Structure 1
Amino acid sequence: MNLPPRIVIVGAAGRLGQALVRRLAPHATVIGLARPEIDLQDPQSIRDALEPLDFDHLILPAAMTAVDPCETEQEKAYAINATAPGLIAYICAAKQAHMTYVSTDFVFDGLTHGFYTEGDEARPVSVYGSSKLKGEELVLAADPGHLVVRVAWLYGPGKPAFPEWIVDKACAESHLSLPMDKTGCPTSATDVSDMLVHLLEESASGVFHLCNAGSCSWQEWGQACLDLAREAGAPLQCETIAGNWLADIPAFLAKRPPNSAMSNDKFTAFTGISPRPWKEALREHFATSGFLAKYQAAACG
């Protein structure tokens, strides 16, 4: 495996950060950083944490990802998602180190039908999306040789995400509904880590989309989760998710792109590898992550 020998991961305690540490640690010296070791709102904290280190590559999955709080805390969102990545990118460039910035499908406005490619214009409709796009621009301005990877609808064994949330809800409530008009690509953090390894081995640069193959609505994703939970013996109170619309959810402050499905064609053309379908990755998550054990134990008791 031809990986950079010394890799820093900023955000090592997060869902993707944990997956990256597990994937990379057997093959490289991995330095994981997280709060309080590094504070992305504080430029001096970033300099103090990174400038003394000797490394060949840095991966930045850390971000302010809470979409609605970004609307009310815009200064914080831009500090973490844009200013900090730009500074980190310049520090990496000064060290002649490569950098990977993890971005999002929310850089798109959602008005395109089908799958977005890396060549499609990014037109975010939320502060979260705008701040992440600005982060992309600053990272590549610091060094066009840096790498930006966009991920979507991320879940994984490190921290609870949508699959765990919807199963919890279905075990406690008899009626659930999710939007039929929000489409994207459920994506395994484990699979993103595997895909990123291939890009690092080839010193890829520019923008790549990394997600599992295929797309679905939020309603379809939730239903797939409940179907797998039922197969595993979880005591569901709700087995069928009804459909509603994004406009039916008044708690949302930020506008969501109705379609943010992304194409993997560039990644496949570059590496020769086709990411597996999202349903296959989701089934593996349910089989191996262990989060259903509490329901199964309760059912047996």
Structure 2
Amino acid sequence: MRIAVTGKSGQVTSALQALKVPGVEVIPVGRPELDLLNPSMVSETIARTKPDVVVSAAAYTAVDKAERDEASAFAINRDGAKAIAAATAELSLPIIHLSTDYVFDGDKSGPYIESDPVGPVSVYGRSKLEGEHAVAAANENHAILRTAWVYSTCGHNFLKTMLRLAQTREELSVVSDQLGCPTSANDIAEAIVKIAARLLSDSSPDLRGVFHLAGSGETNWAEFARYIFSILEEKTGRRVTVKDIATADYPTAAKRPANSRLCCDKLKRLYGVSMPEWQGSTQAAVTKLLEEPKETT
């Protein structure tokens, strides 16, 4: 199975490349040969890779910057996603498109299911939601995967930021009134391979549509940080304490959903895919980063 994935340096792309699953070849495609700001390049580039399935992972993810750069966010997250989906439809290929918890407003009291009303509260969230709609309209053979709080040992993410700050700080203030499901890019990659195989072997309409894909269990940012630092202390003896603060005490350009919890029962029921508990995957990532200090810079 040949999987083309957009975005050469993204967390999920890197995780897919690292999997080394027998019989699975991952082909990253990105700039300069694939530029989502130049949709005319997309079809030819994807056709050249001769994939069996395409993973649309490239995105504009600078959430706060998007508030002042709306045009770029929509050009990539909506128009670029549409171009990829249209190209896959033209080539009769299934597409797996990565989306986000930011399509919700965060006001629900419990975990979100796929059929809950959407209501993004940021430019990033709106651009990703319109990307979902564009992908679904352009290619019926799609699986849209909403995920949340993604981290890995590469790229920019909360886990790596905490470890970097821990090198020079003994106390950190972290927001504690936002709930979510930390999700390992490695776990996402493993799930994608299983989902891709099913899409290729089973034409059931039930396997097409929107699905939630996030780490099992839930926490808040402050507790997530505490868990990261508990592993750091266990491995190195360095202790960093976390002070809980409210979202209001840490203003950002873009509003974040207070509740980012995603219910993944639909994915488990239809695909048989269950995500690991977030703590185990977090421990694996922190341990790897501590063993390879250069990765934390």
8 Å Cα contact 1:164/1:291 also seen in 2: no
Question: Residue in 1 aligned with 2:234?
Answer: 231
Of 216-225 and 154-163, more deviation after overlay is shown by 154-163
Residue 124 of structure 1 pairs with residue 116 of structure 2: no
8 Å Cα contact 1:98/1:146 also seen in 2: yes
8 Å Cα contact 2:170/2:241 also seen in 1: no
Indicate the SS of the match to 2:191.
Answer: helix
Indicate the SS of the match to 1:40.
Answer: coil
Question: Residue in 1 aligned with 2:202?
Answer: none
Deviation track 1:190-222 (CA, whole Å, cap 9, x = no partner) reads: 111111222222213211111110111111111
Indicate the SS of the match to 2:241.
Answer: coil
Question: Residue in 1 aligned with 2:204?
Answer: none
1:98, CA displacement in angstroms? Answer: 0.6
1:255, CA displacement in angstroms? Answer: 0.8
Partners of 1:150 and 1:212 lie apart in 2 by: 12
- Which residue type is aligned with residue 281 of structure 2? A
Question: Residue in 1 aligned with 2:46?
Answer: 50
Residue 29 of structure 1 pairs with residue 32 of structure 2: no
Indicate the SS of the match to 2:64.
Answer: helix
Residues 146 and 24 of structure 1, relative CA distance in 2, 3 Å threshold: farther
8 Å Cα contact 1:149/1:208 also seen in 2: yes
Partners of 2:98 and 2:20 lie apart in 1 by: 16
Across the aligned residues of Structure 1 and Structure 2, the Cα RMSD in angstroms comes to 1.7
Question: Residue in 1 aligned with 2:137?
Answer: 141
Partners of 2:237 and 2:95 lie apart in 1 by: 42
Partners of 2:283 and 2:83 lie apart in 1 by: 39
Partners of 2:104 and 2:127 lie apart in 1 by: 12
TM-score normalised by L of structure 2 = 0.91
1:290, CA displacement in angstroms? Answer: 3.2
Indicate the SS of the match to 1:92.
Answer: helix
Indicate the SS of the match to 2:289.
Answer: coil
> What aligned pairs does 1:198-217 form with structure 2 within 5 A after superposition?
198-203=194-199, 204-217=207-220
1:162, CA displacement in angstroms? Answer: 1.3
Of 70-79 and 26-35, more deviation after overlay is shown by 26-35
> Which residues of structure 2 form unaligned runs of 5+?
200-206
- The number of equivalent residue pairs is 287
Question: Residue in 2 aligned with 1:280?
Answer: 280
Partners of 2:109 and 2:260 lie apart in 1 by: 9
Q: 1:168 aligns with which of 127, 139, 164?
A: 164
1:99, CA displacement in angstroms? Answer: 0.6
Q: 1:80 aligns with which of 76, 88, 95?
A: 76
Partners of 1:51 and 1:276 lie apart in 2 by: 34
- Which residue type is aligned with residue 267 of structure 2? F
1:143, CA displacement in angstroms? Answer: 1.9
Indicate the SS of the match to 2:119.
Answer: coil
8 Å Cα contact 1:104/1:132 also seen in 2: yes
Question: Residue in 2 aligned with 1:157?
Answer: 153
Question: Residue in 2 aligned with 1:245?
Answer: 246
8 Å Cα contact 1:234/1:292 also seen in 2: no
1:172, CA displacement in angstroms? Answer: 0.8
Residues 33 and 25 of structure 1, relative CA distance in 2, 3 Å threshold: farther
8 Å Cα contact 1:92/1:99 also seen in 2: yes
Partners of 1:234 and 1:166 lie apart in 2 by: 16
8 Å Cα contact 1:12/1:21 also seen in 2: no
Indicate the SS of the match to 2:174.
Answer: strand
TM-score normalised by L of structure 1 = 0.90
Deviation track 1:84-140 (CA, whole Å, cap 9, x = no partner) reads: 111111111011011111111111100001211111111100000000000000000
Residue 180 of structure 1 pairs with residue 176 of structure 2: yes
Over the matched positions of the two proteins, sequence identity in percent amounts to: 34
Residue 290 of structure 1 pairs with residue 289 of structure 2: yes
- Which residue type is aligned with residue 245 of structure 2? N
Indicate the SS of the match to 2:210.
Answer: strand
